[in-house]
Amino acid sequence: MQSRSIYKVPNGKLLKIFLQYDEKRNLIEEINLMGDFFAYPEETVELMENKLKNTLLEREHLLKKIKSIIKEHKIQFIGLDAEGLTQGILMCKP
């Protein structure tokens, strides 16, 4: 199943997500994070997209995973945060 979302992060930027997911297993198959936010270093967003594959589309699980990727790769977001990213991804689900 393919889906998109547009989410204005509170006090932040506009996040646009393309998500392909396995409906039965509730898992991310492919994800693109787009928008007018900033991330340092920029290349870590592609890494985030890869690491989110096969992640369960459930709030607590997703948030924990995103926070651990941010910590592990020392990603610094401006205009976006782990909560905003989680919310944007979950908004792709009907």
Nearer CB in complex with other proteins: 26/41: 41
Which of 38-45's residues contact partners 24+ apart within 8 Å by CB, and which partners?
Answer: 38/13, 38/77, 38/78, 38/79, 38/80, 39/75, 39/76, 39/77, 39/78, 39/80, 40/75, 40/76, 40/78, 41/75, 44/73, 44/75, 45/75
3-state SS assignment for residue 9: coil
* Residue 50 touching other proteins (CB under 8 A): no
**Of 45, 52, 57, 62, the one binding other proteins by CB under 8 A:** 45
* Residue 38 touching other proteins (CB under 8 A): yes
Q: Which stretch binds other proteins (CB under 8 A): 22-30, 35-43, 54-62, 65-73?
A: 35-43
* Residue 51 touching other proteins (CB under 8 A): no
Contacting positions for other proteins (CB under 8 A): 6, 12-14, 16, 32-42, 45, 76, 78-79
